[in-house]
Amino acid sequence: MDKVIKRAKKVEGELRVPSDKSISHRSIILTSLANGVSTVKNFLKAGDTLTTMKVYRQLGVKIEEKDDVIYVHGVNLHGYKEPDDVLDMGNSGTTTRLTLGLLAGQRFFTVLTGDESLRNRPMKRVLNPLKQMKAHVDGRQIGEYLPIAIRGTKLRGIEFLNEKASAQVKSAILIAGLFAERTTTVIEPVLSRNHTENMLKAMGADIKYEQSAGGHKFSIKGGKELKPIDIDVPADPSSAAFFAAAAVLLPDSHLILKDVLVNPTRDGFFRKLKEMGANIEYKNHREQAGEPIADIEVFYSPNLKGIEITKEEIPSMVDEIPLLALIATQAEGETRITGASELRVKESDRIKAVVLNLRALGVEVEELPDGMVIKGKQTIKGGIVDSFKDHRIAMGFSIIGLIAEKPVTIKDADCIFISYPQFYEHLEQVVEFK
Ligand code: S3P
């Protein structure tokens, strides 16, 4: 489906965007490891998280839904069953990488595959440390790509340096650590999202955290029985970001984004937008099921300034970098993004996607191997852009369409269902068109 977005007048109102994708994935994957039934309120029902639900059912986990609450019947560390077919991980990198960690410690055989995008995403980053833990695992191109076959075995603890600050890799190794002899340690020079560690701790895992000169160190001991928990998933800051951007860019806008997860490992976008001069405020700051949440109030912000985004800042805003680049086209001065080469291996090459699409809309932008340089105060002319079947690219360019002179057509916009199926309905709700 192609979507045409026309210039808008303003954004006004209140919105509770869909629930957090990262926490929703973990609310099934991690609770399935418990000894007992966990409950999940406000589970995100979108492409990726429904993939997780389907895959864990195929692995023998009973997952029920009653009155909008999901009940995950944990099977303990070794109660999973060998699936009788290949597991299709769809578009979901998180499901794939975390599940690889779990399957490495099982006593059976599994084959994993995914859609065309996922089959081109790097997996050695997980497979290499898993192999060091003695996992029996292999994949296409010497273990780099799906399909991947894995025969679970007895694992051994390792010390692993998570150089790419990937939360998916950290999570995979910590989960594998639950099945390993001795201690498994993950060290991160820059802290990536910490939902796995938080949730495992709440479930009673033997996990320790230390901060040292080398960074952040997590150590987990295997074999311990995990207890079930009750989770209430907050709104996804990565989804809220699109509407915050629209409010910042459209004159006279005023928007309140309700119940948003503002964990510091995730809210870098909002901090950076503030640094650019945006009028944004966290209200009603509180805690929900162990995570900090707030209502975020956003006003039209006409005096944005260009900024620098560097490597250490990337992890807390990794999925929002494309959107920050789009906003930067409207700021005073230049914005320089570096240290973001991870963007090239997301659902699409997001550096290329942003650069090609911005150029298609008449915007000047310089591509760097690990980022881009965006000149400010540019006119968005309008035209045709490609989503590259990447949900965040489709939504980002829909937002930029709201300030374009002529309509912006987004090709293959239906990929938004991966994280935010109601995106265009919500756009109609809070955006006033001319
Ligand atoms: C995620 C981690 C990030 C992020 C992805 C979700 C997670 O990926 O981009 O959307 O839930 O752990 P990396 O671990 O590859 O950085």
pLDDT exceeding 70 applies to what percent of the chain? 100
Mean pLDDT, the chain, integer: 97
Q: Kindly give the number of the ligand 1 atom that is closest to the alpha carbon of 319.
A: 9
Show me where the domains of the chain are located: 3-18+235-433, 21-220
pLDDT of 212: 80
Residue 164 CA, ligand 1 centroid: distance in Å: 11
Look at the pTM and tell me if it is higher than 0.95. yes
CA distance 89 to 415: 15
Check pLDDT > 90 for residue 434: no
The residues carrying an active-site annotation are: 319
**Please, which residues bridge with residue 63 across strands?**
72
Which fold is adopted by the domain 3-18+235-433? UDP-n-acetylglucosamine1-carboxyvinyl-transferase; Chain (3.65.10)
Residue 378 CA, ligand 1 centroid: distance in Å: 31
- What are the CA-CA distances from residue 72 to residues 57, 67, 92, 289, 315 (Å)? 10, 14, 20, 16, 30
Residues having CB closer than 6 A to ligand 1 are 22, 94, 166-168, 171, 193, 318-319, 342
Q: Kindly give the number of the ligand 1 atom that is closest to the alpha carbon of 196.
A: 12
Q: Kindly give the number of the ligand 1 atom that is closest to the alpha carbon of 193.
A: 12
Q: Kindly give the number of the ligand 1 atom that is closest to the alpha carbon of 166.
A: 14
The angle subtended at Cα 267 by Cα 294 and Cα 352, nearest 5°, is: 140
pLDDT of 214: 78
Query: What is the tens place of the pLDDT at every residue in 195-224?
Result: 999 999 999 999 999 998 879 999 999 999
Q: Which residue lies with its CA nearest to atom 10 of ligand 1?
A: 319
From 19, 20, 21, 22, the mutation candidate for ligand 1 (largest count of ligand atoms within 8 A of CB) is: 22
pLDDT of 403: 98
Which fold is adopted by the domain 21-220? UDP-n-acetylglucosamine1-carboxyvinyl-transferase; Chain (3.65.10)
Which are the contacts of 66, defined by CB distance < 8 A and separation ≥ 6? none
CA distance 417 to 422: 8
For the chain, the distance separating the N- and C-terminal CA atoms, rounded to the nearest angstrom, is: 24
Residue with tokens 């790097």: 122
Taken as a whole, the chain contains a residue count of 434
Task: Provide DSSP, 319-355.
Answer: GGHHHHHHHHTTSBS-EEE-S-GGGGGSSS-HHHHHH
Tokens of 326: 């789009």
Rounded mean pLDDT, 10-36: 98
* 125 contacts 345 by C-beta, under 8 angstroms: no
Q: What is the DSSP letter of 222?
A: S
Query: What is the tens place of the pLDDT at every residue in 157-203?
Result: 999 999 999 999 999 999 999 999 999 999 999 999 999 999 999 99
From 94, 316, 392, the mutation candidate for ligand 1 (largest count of ligand atoms within 8 A of CB) is: 94
Q: Which residue lies with its CA nearest to atom 4 of ligand 1?
A: 319
Reply yes or no: is the peptide bond before residue 147 cis, omega within 30 of 0: yes
Query: What is the tens place of the pLDDT at every residue in 65-93?
Result: 999 999 999 999 999 999 999 999 999 99
Intrachain domains 3-18+235-433 and 21-220 with the same fold? yes
CA distance 246 to 255: 9
* 300 contacts 10 by C-beta, under 8 angstroms: yes
CA distance 140 to 163: 23
Query: Residue 388: left if φ>0, alpha if ψ -120 to 50, beta else—which one?
Result: left
pLDDT of 100: 98
Sign (positive or negative) of CA dihedral 305, 306, 310, 315: positive
Check pLDDT > 90 for residue 399: yes
* 389 contacts 348 by C-beta, under 8 angstroms: yes
Rounded mean pLDDT, 114-119: 98
